[in-house]
Amino acid sequence: MTEASPEVEHHTTLALDIGGTWIRAATVTHDGQLLGARKQASPTTGSAAEILALCAQLADEARAASPVPPRGLGVSTTGPVNPQTGVLYDPPNTPAGFSGLPLGQYLRERLELAVVVDRDVNAAALAEQRFGAARGCTDFVYLTVSTGIGGAVIADGELLRGADGAAGELGHVVVAPGGPTCGCGRRGCLEAVAAGPAIGRAADRHARAHPGSGLAQLRDSLGGTPLRGHQVGAAALDGDPDAREILAAAGAAVVSSIVDIVNVFNPQRVVLGGSVAMAQPCWIEKANAAVRQSALQPASETARVVPTELGDNGGLLGAALLLDRPTEADHAARHRRR
Amino acid sequence: MTEASPEVEHHTTLALDIGGTWIRAATVTHDGQLLGARKQASPTTGSAAEILALCAQLADEARAASPVPPRGLGVSTTGPVNPQTGVLYDPPNTPAGFSGLPLGQYLRERLELAVVVDRDVNAAALAEQRFGAARGCTDFVYLTVSTGIGGAVIADGELLRGADGAAGELGHVVVAPGGPTCGCGRRGCLEAVAAGPAIGRAADRHARAHPGSGLAQLRDSLGGTPLRGHQVGAAALDGDPDAREILAAAGAAVVSSIVDIVNVFNPQRVVLGGSVAMAQPCWIEKANAAVRQSALQPASETARVVPTELGDNGGLLGAALLLDRPTEADHAARHRRR
């Protein structure tokens, strides 16, 4: 099956999206349809062997839905990965078993398919460029605000990779010096201020400091367990003023970071995705206003901030597109040779 | 003379470096020697016509030193510029007459030479890559801390340009929310905290708030004129504790920004230049320690922070190198066609 030709017009690609919360698989058609989609919770305490076996099983199940032999397997995965070897690095926010996971080699041997592995944000950016909110763009930034905050940059048509394929960590830029401690060890990173868990922790701090507040009552009603980002979002929708203020502060940090991004990358678009950002559609309008008013010319006039069009499917669709970019897999090799 | 072949091994290139403080010109040999170097103070109140005439005059004088007809003129200029048309945009920190200056066309006609125009930071980055602190690097960031703070990014061997050629404004990233107002209108940009004038203003604020302090005495001894960055630097060297603290705060902001840069770009090197940074060599060591300790793996292990090797000559040397990159001039055209 590794001989399936990429020239076949109606090819399919097997796709795997490995996140901290879900592992998903599907057969992706040439025009971006998902067939035989599967998902299962990521094993947060599993060993490397268990995680690898689960990935192979889901991919195998999704392969059964393909009308033709898939041309290969694209894998999008949480956290930085060496795109040449398909081995994961050890980032914050990644379950323990994921560190050093030899994804590429294992899946290649187990499934007997060509395999390309890349970061989920890179895959999602490629998907937005082909099928979504960045169609036709050569210069754009994809920013996801979810359990973590990550980014991918397409510059002059190419993914910005950096020396080790680890570029794009837009969530690990300090936006609040001396602020909350981040999973990466620094204080006040955008991720420590505006990702879902950071919003939950801010609400918790507020609840503990103000025992009579709505957030404190919410926390008590949940048995005193730490609040989570989506619960703060729900409280804000119900009109809780403290929840609204906490979300507004997170939004202001994201908006200011988007202005920074426009100054640094001069993109045509900033595509905003991730569960936290998707739940706060007003951030898009605020970011556009801030870019117009505060970014440098001419970047301020060029950039448009837009919501993801593909949402949760970006990682899977983009994983399939990794097979369109044969140079991605050997980027690191080319890089070292020069 | 426009027919001078770039294949000639021992060619020369005319180079012009237009800064907010100085306009400099020289003939640059193929191996990076400067011949017939000229410089004159930038006319801060001059009209566009005066600035253009001065540029042409200095270039003409420098051309006289060239042993062979130069193959063309490379121009590095302060602030963003459209590399296709050679027209300057209107950035902060640029003297009024520079806005909209049609540099490329004027100099092409006046000097009868092929002309390529680009931002000074882009030129300086190319020079460090060829002759200086980034020799052999495919992925690095050049950061200059001077009257302003600017950056240039080389990613996978190419300049990061963005949609309008305005990418790389690393000085206009907020590092101190609610901090001092920046020339760009935002508050707390790195430039508003750590550039030379920002250091001078911080010392001024301190002098006004603490009339008996050494900085207040220094200010009085200068007739009450606002302090300037290099005067604060001299006071720090003389042991003034307040001047040291102000410089340490600026240094901490630069160091933290360098960690951000490592996370975002995963570079092999960060080359630190500009008069303010060159006067504070301890920033290099502090930045390397912070990158090792605080940046994400694997970027933290790859990146080295190094001082500029070319200093003030980077802009001129890099201007000459712009002629080696024929694709730079029509980048925007290619970009728009895709």
Q: Does A69 touch chain B (CB under 8 A)?
A: no
Q: Does A155 touch chain B (CB under 8 A)?
A: yes
**A12-126+313-337: CATH, from 3.50.50.60, 3.40.50.2000, 3.30.300.10, 3.30.420.40:** 3.30.420.40
CA R_g for chain B: 20
Distance from CA of A103 to the nearest CA of B (A): 18
Of the listed ranges A92-96, A242-246, A304-308, B252-256, the least confidently predicted one is A92-96
Query: To the nearest 5 percent, what fractions of chain A are helix, strand and coil?
Result: 45, 20, 35
Do residues B275 and B240 touch, judged by C-beta distance below 8 A? no
Interface confidence, given as ipTM, is 0.92
Catalytic residue IDs of A: 120
In sequence order, the 6+-apart residues with CB closer than 8 A to the CB of B92 are A296, B148, B182, B183, B184
Q: Could you give phi then psi for residue B110, rounded to 5 degrees? A: -70, -40
> What pLDDT does residue B42 have?
86
> What pLDDT does residue B94 have?
65
Higher pLDDT: A81 or B70? It is B70
Residue A38, CA distances (Å) to A18, A30, A34, A58, A164 in order: 12, 19, 10, 6, 31
- The answer regarding whether domain B136-308 maps to CATH 3.30.420.40 reads yes
> What pLDDT does residue A49 have?
85
- Residue B47: pLDDT band with limits 50, 70, 90: confident
Q: Which of residues 257-286 of B touch A (CB under 8 A)?
A: 259-260, 263-268
A137-308 matches A12-126+313-337 in CATH topology: yes
> What pLDDT does residue A27 have?
97
Q: From CA B210, how far away is CA B146, in angstroms rounded?
A: 27
Within 8 A of A264 by CB-CB distance, chain B residues are 151, 167-170, 173, 264
Q: Could you give phi then psi for residue A102, rounded to 5 degrees? A: -85, 65
Higher pLDDT: B1 or B282? It is B282
Fold of A137-308: Nucleotidyltransferase; domain 5 (3.30.420)
Q: Does B157 touch chain A (CB under 8 A)?
A: yes
Provide the residue ranges of all domains of chain B, joining segments of one domain with +. Answer: 12-126+313-337, 136-308
Query: Is the pLDDT score of B10 beyond 50?
Result: yes
Of the listed ranges B23-32, B99-108, B136-145, B225-234, the least confidently predicted one is B99-108
Residue A200, CA distances (Å) to A44, A50, B20, B218 in order: 20, 30, 47, 50
Q: Look up residue A299 and give its two tokens.
A: 């970047």
Q: From CA A142, how far away is CA A125, in angstroms rounded?
A: 6
Amino acid at the residue B77: T
Q: From CA B337, how far away is CA B331, in angstroms rounded?
A: 10
Query: Is the pLDDT score of A118 beyond 70?
Result: yes
> What pLDDT does residue B110 have?
94
Q: Does A139 touch chain B (CB under 8 A)?
A: yes
- Residue B301: pLDDT band with limits 50, 70, 90: very high
**By CB neighbour count within 10 A (0-12 exposed, 13-18 middle, 19+ buried), where does A136 fall?**
exposed
Catalytic residue IDs of B: 120
Average of per-residue pLDDT across B287-302 = 96
- The proportion of chain A whose per-residue pLDDT surpasses 70, expressed as a percent, equals 92
> What pLDDT does residue B152 have?
98
> What pLDDT does residue B338 have?
39
DSSP B181: B
Contact B173 A263 (CB under 8 A): yes
Higher pLDDT: B103 or A203? It is A203
- Residue B91: pLDDT band with limits 50, 70, 90: low
Q: Does A162 touch chain B (CB under 8 A)?
A: yes
Distance from CA of A122 to the nearest CA of B (A): 13
Whether the bond between A298 and the residue before it is cis, its omega within 30 degrees of 0, is yes
| Per-residue model confidence as pLDDT tens digits over B175-221 | 999 999 999 999 999 999 999 999 999 999 999 999 999 999 999 99
Do residues A328 and A322 touch, judged by C-beta distance below 8 A? yes
Query: Is the pLDDT score of B332 beyond 50?
Result: no
> What pLDDT does residue B93 have?
62
Within 8 A of A259 by CB-CB distance, chain B residues are 174, 186
- Residue A20: pLDDT band with limits 50, 70, 90: confident
Q: Could you give phi then psi for residue A82, rounded to 5 degrees? A: -80, 110
* Closest residue in B to A261 (Cα–Cα): B173
Q: Does B99 touch chain A (CB under 8 A)?
A: no
User: Nearest Cβ partner of A163 from B164, B175, B302?
Assistant: B302
